[in-house]
DNA sequence: ACCATAGGAATGAATATTCATTCCGTTTTA
DNA sequence: TAAAACGGAATGAATATTCATTCCTATGGT
């Protein structure tokens, strides 16, 4: 155990922020090496090639996102409580890992993702699908296709966090609370409408 | 005027779909030439270089989007009616120009956009800012920062249209109506909450 | 024949990847 | 215990590939 980051960790961190910032194709391997303060060749000691690196990164982020969202999930809570839990999980993950969240969002359909990466992302989505299905069944969530519901909440959330990441917005607990409410209102059934 | 697309138009169309599909850095000039069925050199007869091409494309799309959203805007209508108008404009633009919408969304912060492109996008955003401000003032729209409100609606909308674009979803008028309602509920003030 | 337009091979710069060498900590030997 | 030998991690210059851009030839319209 070192007090300082291992070479591998430095590479991972540098690559993540560059991929998030400039995209996969806009990031060169020497750029990553520079930022990580290692030799170019060192990257190839840890990853077979650039594609293997981006896939390792992607899977790692998805796994961590999965863990955060599912940890302490209130299985027996209400649909509303579960929504809040998931939303807070997203916030927590995005704050701890500001590049990781954006990276996953912008790369989840990328052509260079291998089957394993795609599968890991699909599993994450399955969890949200199942949630949406339960919510609809209980009459709490609007009867739209689960894909659409997920797209609405994730789309809104990621765009907001993109602003935060870009420094164009500073998040406050109150603002996050309001955004959560806003997202809930977007997908929930309203009892009484004028 | 030809019955068939001009060379320039073929280049523009090919470039647009490739940039939307693979991103700027992931698209090569010969790739564009191939898809447009022109020689590589021909592209340089119409555009100074790759960067000029992407900027011309961006500005053109933003302009068309602007036109669609602002055409017949109900200046004296209610905030709700104006929202509907804008939303329908977005739908119309996205349907007529499925790549263009996604292209603008994914490239609006790109490092290779020139000042003119940035300015054209800023003007478009100003329009939405002004709309949000009016809505808040009238007590119809939630009192959040305009940036956040815009991010919520645009984020939700673009993610849904990304699904449609990818063929993972087929849009119907009823579905679009529901999504419009969903987005409105996300940003509007609700008179009575339980 | 002349000019404008188009084409695509040629060019040089940029990029991913490799590899011979250096460096450094550990083990072996005297 | 000190010196020598070793092994694997790290390096960055060298190589092979890909790319944007140029340039010269070909084509077709007038």
Question: Is residue A102 a part of any domain in this protein?
Answer: yes
Positions on chain D within 7 A of a protein C-beta: 9-14, 18-24
The verdict on A180 and A147 lying in the same domain is: yes
The verdict on B110 and B43 lying in the same domain is: no
pLDDT of residue B152: 98
| Residues B78-113: tens digit of each pLDDT | 999 999 999 999 999 999 998 999 999 999 999 999
* pLDDT band per the 50, 70, 90 thresholds, residue B53: very high
Q: CA A84, C1' C28: Å apart? A: 63
Which residues 7-36 of B are in CB contact (within 8 Å) with A?
22-26
pLDDT at B2 over 70: no
Contact call for residues A24 and A107 (beta carbons, < 8 A): yes
Query: In this structure, what are the phi and psi dihedrals at residue B113, rounded to the nearest 5 degrees?
Result: -75, 135
* Optimal mutation site among B21, B186, B190, interface A, most CBs of chain A within 10 A: B186
Contact yes or no for B162 and A144 at CB 8 A: no
Chain A positions in Cβ-Cβ contact with residue B157 (cut-off 8 Å)? 155
Contact yes or no for B194 and A191 at CB 8 A: yes
Q: Distance from CA of residue A118 to its chain's centroid?
A: 14
Question: Is residue A194 a part of any domain in this protein?
Answer: no
Contact yes or no for B26 and A22 at CB 8 A: no
Instruction: Considering any atom of strand C, list protein residues whose CB lies within 7 Å.
Output: A 27-31, 40-41, 44, 49-51; B 7, 37-42, 44-45
Rounded CA-CA distance B152/A6 in Å is: 39
**CATH number of the domain that A28 lies in?**
1.10.10.60
| Residues B14-36: tens digit of each pLDDT | 999 999 999 999 999 999 999 99
The verdict on B163 and B141 lying in the same domain is: yes
Q: Which token pair is A46?
A: 């840890």
The verdict on A9 and A75 lying in the same domain is: no
| Residues A101-123: tens digit of each pLDDT | 999 999 999 999 999 999 999 99
pLDDT of residue B4: 61
Question: Is residue B194 a part of any domain in this protein?
Answer: no
Q: Distance from CA of residue A88 to its chain's centroid?
A: 12
The verdict on A57 and A42 lying in the same domain is: no
The verdict on A42 and A96 lying in the same domain is: no
Contact call for residues A137 and A98 (beta carbons, < 8 A): no
Number of domains in chain A: 2
The verdict on A32 and A54 lying in the same domain is: no
Rounded CA-CA distance A28/A149 in Å is: 36
Question: Is residue B73 a part of any domain in this protein?
Answer: yes
State the residue range of the domain holding A126. 50-187
Rounded CA-CA distance A81/A74 in Å is: 7
* pLDDT band per the 50, 70, 90 thresholds, residue A5: confident
Question: Is residue B193 a part of any domain in this protein?
Answer: no
pLDDT of residue A175: 96
A108/B contact by beta carbon, under 8 A: no
Inter-helix orientation angle A7-22/A98-107, to 10°: 60
Rounded CA-CA distance A108/A85 in Å is: 23
| Residues A44-96: tens digit of each pLDDT | 999 989 999 999 999 999 999 999 999 999 999 999 999 999 999 999 999 99
Positions on chain C within 7 A of a protein C-beta: 5-10, 14-20
Strand D proximal to B59 Cβ, under 7 A: no
The verdict on B36 and B90 lying in the same domain is: no
The verdict on A85 and A122 lying in the same domain is: yes
pLDDT of residue A192: 56
Catalogue the long-range contacts made by B119-126 (C-beta closer than 8 Å, 24 or more residues apart).
B120/B58, B120/B59, B120/B62, B120/B63, B120/B66, B121/B58, B121/B62, B123/B66, B124/B62, B124/B65, B124/B66, B124/B69, B125/B150
The verdict on A60 and A29 lying in the same domain is: no
The verdict on A110 and A142 lying in the same domain is: yes
């Amino acid at each position: 155990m070192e007090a300082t980051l291992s070479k591998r960790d430095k590479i991972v961190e540098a690559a993540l922020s560059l991929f998030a910032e400039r995209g996969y194709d806009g990031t060169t391997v020497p750029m990553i090496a520079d930022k990580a303060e290692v030799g170019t060749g060192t990257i190839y000691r840890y990853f077979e090639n650039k594609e293997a690196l981006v896939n390792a990164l992607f899977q790692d982020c998805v796994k961590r996102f999965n863990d955060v969202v599912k940890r302490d999930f209130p299985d027996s809570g209400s649909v509303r409580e579960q929504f809040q839990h998931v939303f807070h999980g997203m916030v927590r993950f995005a704050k701890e890992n500001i590049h990781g969240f954006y990276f996953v969002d912008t790369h989840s359909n990328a052509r260079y993702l291998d089957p394993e990466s795609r599968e890991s992302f699909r599993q994450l989505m399955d969890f949200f699908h199942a949630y949406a299905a339960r919510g609809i069944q209980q009459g709490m969530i609007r009867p739209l296709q689960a894909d659409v519901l997920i797209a609405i909440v994730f789309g809104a959330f990621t765009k907001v966090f993109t602003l935060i990441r870009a420094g164009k917005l500073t998040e406050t607990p109150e603002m996050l609370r309001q955004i959560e409410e806003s997202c809930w209102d977007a997908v929930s059934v309203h009892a009484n409408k004028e």
